[in-house]
Amino acid sequence: MSAMTSRTLRCTSQAAEHGASPAAATPRQRRLAKNKRQHKEGLEWRQQVLEEPATLSPPPPAAVGPGLSLSCPHFEACSGCTLDSNLDTPPVLHKAKAFFEDECGLGSFQLHTNSDSAHSWRQRARLAVRRDGSGRPVVGLFDKGSHAITAIPSCVVHHPAINQAAELVQQALEACAVEPYIEGNGSGQLRYVQLTVVDQQAAQPPSGGTGTSIVAAPAVQLVLVWNSEAAAEEEGSEGSASLAALSALASHLWQLGSQSADRPPLLHSVWANFQPARTNVIMGPEWRLLHGAELAWTRLGGADICFGPGSFMQANYAAMDRCLQVMQEHVPPGSVVADLHAGVGTIGLSLAATRQPRSVAAVEINGQGQGSFEHSAARLQHSLVAAPPAGASDGSSSSTPPMQLGYHVAAAGSDPGRWCRNATTVVCDPPRKGLEASLLRWLCTVSPEQGPAHMLYLSCSFASLRRDATALLASGRWRLRHAEGFLFVPGTNHIETLAVFERTAGASKA
Ligand SMILES: C[S@@+](CC[C@H](N)C(=O)[O-])C[C@H]1O[C@@H](n2cnc3c(N)ncnc32)[C@H](O)[C@@H]1O
């Protein structure tokens, strides 16, 4: 928190304590005082959660004005959020409305949101580990526009389990005398931590017993991003001392976070990721499981989704779940689905669990997702055989083949004709830069007989979606049937947009 902000907060609270007239405060002081009051209520709620972890549920929504508000004590210092009021009408929403309503002629472009969307939504967070201005090791985020670090122990957008696990790491830094990373000279040990909430209910396999041993509280998959190579060097060398320090830190955390007699374990697992390079890329190429279970699960869009620490996961599970439900409405039963930017296969698996497609082919450039996809697919196939959906094949009939679920590690644009062979529905969920030029060209030129009938394009960047949608519509091959937005990152000028296209000519394959 900047000196200016902390001074302002102090002054505001003193004014409030001494009963100063609200009229004497500036609008900003009043806003910060309100943030502080709501933050205090949030802390009280979190204290209750700590005492009763099995009942973790979202905090009561903050008292808000016309729009959703953030009310975070770290706002303005921390770089994580850029909006603290009217979160449900970020500036980009106006651009999206203008594009879809005025340029594309859709009736109305809506943004999905509800009153508790603003808080406790983040289920995956990456936090830096550095020394602060006073030399104290800190787990937090960089200040706006700099690499100076701010601790954010009361972050209101983090799921409470993430804040608790971050606090555990904060304590362990000092207890284990861990050296935070120093960017200036590349020295130090711990660079970042990644914390991901694991749904312990979904973690139980469907045949996992009576349910009496199920631990209801969410736990955290913790990754320690360590500033060294993975391989131990000769005994007594600097490398092995560094790995011994990593091992001691991980054991200390595991003991603190997994073995409490009076509450469910906070940690699901502890991983090491090794990043020795002097780079801004957070994760390195090598991973090692140090404690706990390798497989982590959550339930999204009607499917159990397995994920590892190195594969992409949407951080806002509730918003993604809602988005998946909407996507399902646009996929007819019996479809052949190509899920082109699949990650661990969340979208394709959700469609497989709910829409009875004939097949789903997942295509993903990062091979880290493949093992997770295969675990999820096996669990899904098992549950479909055990309880086939009404009217669906259980695979026992020789005339109706079982659903095919496949995963290809490849760039979607490398051979779109191959990845989309026979596909009736193509799903694109690209990174911020949008569709690869080769994929966009194929979609804009493929003949109606060969191409898919429907396309679901989910985008995290409105600018690249607008560019790609303009090209798709200009090609004459596609018509926009529907579009809507989802608040995946409340507190920022960002919306996730789903655009549903249908082919304009030729016989539909679906
Ligand atoms: C926004 S994420 C979506 C992941 C997944 N659909 C989900 O919902 O979790 C984008 C994914 O596209 C992958 N990706 C990036 N470039 C790609 C490419 N050229 N071809 C295929 N996948 C790509 C990334 O590795 C990442 O997993």
Q: What is the pLDDT of residues 181-198, one digit of tens each?
A: 999 999 999 999 999 999
| Continuous segment of H or E residues that includes residue 419 | helix 416-419
Looking at residue 127, what is its pLDDT? 98
Whole-number Å distance, alpha carbon 344 to ligand 1 midpoint, is: 9
Q: Which amino acid is at 64?
A: V
Please check whether residue 108 lies inside any domain of the structure. Answer: no
Q: Do 330 and 364 sit in the same domain of this protein?
A: yes
Q: Do 367 and 408 sit in the same domain of this protein?
A: yes
| Continuous segment of H or E residues that includes residue 124 | strand 124-131
Looking at residue 30, what is its pLDDT? 53
Which residue's alpha carbon is nearest to atom 6 within ligand 1? 342
Query: What average pLDDT does the segment 229-248 reach?
Result: 78
Please check whether residue 397 lies inside any domain of the structure. Answer: no
Q: Do 450 and 337 sit in the same domain of this protein?
A: yes
Structurally, how many domains does the chain consist of?
3
Whole-number Å distance, alpha carbon 20 to ligand 1 midpoint, is: 54
Nearest ligand 1 atom to alpha carbon 363? 21
Looking at residue 261, what is its pLDDT? 67
CATH number of the domain where residue 430 is located = 3.40.50.150
| Helix, coil or strand: residue 19 | coil
Q: Do 285 and 312 sit in the same domain of this protein?
A: no
The pLDDT-based confidence of 177 (bands split at 50, 70, 90) is: very high
Please check whether residue 393 lies inside any domain of the structure. Answer: no
The pLDDT-based confidence of 24 (bands split at 50, 70, 90) is: low
Region of poorest pLDDT, from 13-17, 76-80, 387-391, 483-487: 13-17
Whole-number Å distance, alpha carbon 211 to ligand 1 midpoint, is: 35
Whole-number Å distance, alpha carbon 298 to ligand 1 midpoint, is: 19
Query: What average pLDDT does the segment 273-299 reach?
Result: 95
Please check whether residue 95 lies inside any domain of the structure. Answer: no
The pLDDT-based confidence of 143 (bands split at 50, 70, 90) is: confident
Q: Do 315 and 202 sit in the same domain of this protein?
A: no
Give me the helix-helix angle, 317-329 and 346-354, nearest 10°: 50
DSSP labels, 219-265: EEEEEEEESS-SS--STTSHHHHHHHHHHHHHHHHHHHHH--TTS--
Q: Which of 83, 107, 140 is the last residue of a domain?
A: 83
Whole-number Å distance, alpha carbon 151 to ligand 1 midpoint, is: 31
Whole-number Å distance, alpha carbon 409 to ligand 1 midpoint, is: 11
Whole-number Å distance, alpha carbon 376 to ligand 1 midpoint, is: 17
Q: What is the mean pLDDT of the chain?
A: 84
Burial class of 401 by CB neighbour count within 10 A (0 to 12, 13 to 18, 19+): exposed
Distance CA 409, CA 415 (A): 12
CATH number of the domain where residue 216 is located = 2.40.50.1070
Find where tokens 């996809």 sit.
373
Is residue 28 pLDDT above 50, yes or no? no
Which residue's alpha carbon is nearest to atom 25 within ligand 1? 366
Cβ(192)–Cβ(282) below 8 Å: yes
Query: What average pLDDT does the segment 235-257 reach?
Result: 88
Looking at residue 212, what is its pLDDT? 36
- Considering the chain, what percentage of its residues have pLDDT values greater than 70? 78
**Domain extent for 70:** 3-83
Q: Among the ranges 79-88, 403-412, 497-506, which has the highest mean pLDDT value?
A: 403-412
pLDDT tens digits, residue range 413-440? 999 999 999 999 999 999 999 999 999 9
Nearest ligand 1 atom to alpha carbon 460? 1
Q: Which of 261, 279, 294 is the last residue of a domain?
A: 294
Nearest ligand 1 atom to alpha carbon 313? 9
**Ligand 1, from 365, 372, 408, 415: best to mutate by most atoms within 8 Å of Cβ?**
365
**Ligand 1, from 281, 307, 312: best to mutate by most atoms within 8 Å of Cβ?**
312
DSSP state of 208: S
Please check whether residue 116 lies inside any domain of the structure. Answer: no
Q: Do 260 and 351 sit in the same domain of this protein?
A: no
| Helix, coil or strand: residue 290 | strand
**Ligand 1, from 364, 432, 460: best to mutate by most atoms within 8 Å of Cβ?**
364
Whole-number Å distance, alpha carbon 417 to ligand 1 midpoint, is: 18
Q: Which of 21, 55, 83 is the last residue of a domain?
A: 83
The pLDDT-based confidence of 215 (bands split at 50, 70, 90) is: very low
* Full 3-state SS string of 423-447: CCEEEECCCCCCCCHHHHHHHHHCC
| Helix, coil or strand: residue 347 | helix
Q: Do 276 and 411 sit in the same domain of this protein?
A: no
What are all long-range contacts of 94-100, with beta carbons under 8 Å and residues at least 24 apart?
95/462, 95/466, 96/462, 96/483, 96/485, 96/495, 96/497, 99/462, 99/466, 99/469, 100/480, 100/483
Distance CA 372, CA 363 (A): 14
Please check whether residue 394 lies inside any domain of the structure. Answer: no
DSSP labels, 454-506: EEEEEES-HHHHHHHHHHHHHTTSEEEEEEEEE-SSTTSS--EEEEEEEESSS
Q: Do 308 and 209 sit in the same domain of this protein?
A: no
Structure tokens at 237: 């060398």
Whole-number Å distance, alpha carbon 169 to ligand 1 midpoint, is: 30
Which residue's alpha carbon is nearest to atom 20 within ligand 1? 411
Please check whether residue 113 lies inside any domain of the structure. Answer: no
Q: Do 184 and 241 sit in the same domain of this protein?
A: yes
Q: Do 179 and 65 sit in the same domain of this protein?
A: no
Q: Helix H segments across 107-228?
A: 160-175, 200-203
Query: What average pLDDT does the segment 449-470 reach?
Result: 96
Which residue's alpha carbon is nearest to atom 8 within ligand 1? 346
Whole-number Å distance, alpha carbon 459 to ligand 1 midpoint, is: 11
Q: Which residue, 315, 309, 314, 5, is CA-closest to 150? A: 5
Which residue's alpha carbon is nearest to atom 11 within ligand 1? 341
Whole-number Å distance, alpha carbon 365 to ligand 1 midpoint, is: 7
* Full 3-state SS string of 71-101: CCCCCCCECCCCCCCCCCCCHHHHHHHHHHH
Please check whether residue 243 lies inside any domain of the structure. Answer: yes
Whole-number Å distance, alpha carbon 369 to ligand 1 midpoint, is: 10
Which residue's alpha carbon is nearest to atom 12 within ligand 1? 341
Which residue's alpha carbon is nearest to atom 1 within ligand 1? 431
Cβ(170)–Cβ(131) below 8 Å: no
Q: Which residues have C-beta atoms less than 6 Å from ligand 1?
A: 312-314, 341-343, 346-347, 363-366, 411-413, 429-431, 436, 460
The sign of the dihedral angle between the CA atoms of 493, 496, 498, 499 is: positive
pLDDT tens digits, residue range 323-370? 999 999 999 999 999 999 999 999 999 999 999 999 999 999 999 999
**Ligand 1, from 341, 418, 439: best to mutate by most atoms within 8 Å of Cβ?**
341
Q: Do 409 and 286 sit in the same domain of this protein?
A: no
Q: Do 284 and 418 sit in the same domain of this protein?
A: no
Is residue 35 pLDDT above 70, yes or no? no
Structure tokens at 292: 């706990």
